[in-house]
């Protein structure tokens, strides 16, 4: 994800990841079988796993150089 973020920007990762996480949560709400429950966990994990580092990178890039440690700690 880091190389994609550097090459194309955060929008290419954030919006699809939010969509994947939303779909995963909807699948979780509709899960009536163990297979669908596991699929929802997979989709949620992919979305959330891509979002969290991307949001941290955005927070660090938005902070001033001398405040980056504070941005990492606050995030």
Would you write out the chain's pLDDT as a tens digit for each of its 75 residues?
888 888 898 889 999 999 999 999 999 999 999 999 999 999 999 999 999 989 888 888 888 989 888 888 877
How long is the chain? 75
Q: pTM (2 decimals)?
A: 0.82
User: 36 with 27: CB under 8 angstroms?
Assistant: yes
Task: Work out how many domains the chain is built from and give that number.
Answer: 1
Range of the domain at 9: 2-74
pLDDT at 21 (0 to 100)? 96
User: 47 with 24: CB under 8 angstroms?
Assistant: yes
């Amino acid at each position: 994800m880091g190389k994609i973020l550097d090459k194309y920007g955060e929008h290419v990762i954030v919006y699809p990841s939010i969509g994947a996480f939303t779909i995963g949560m909807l699948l979780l709400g509709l899960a009536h079988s163990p297979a669908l429950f596991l699929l929802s966990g997979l989709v949620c994990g992919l979305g959330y796993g891509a979002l969290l580092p991307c949001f941290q990178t955005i927070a660090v890039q938005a902070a001033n150089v001398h405040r980056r440690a504070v941005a990492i700690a606050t995030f």
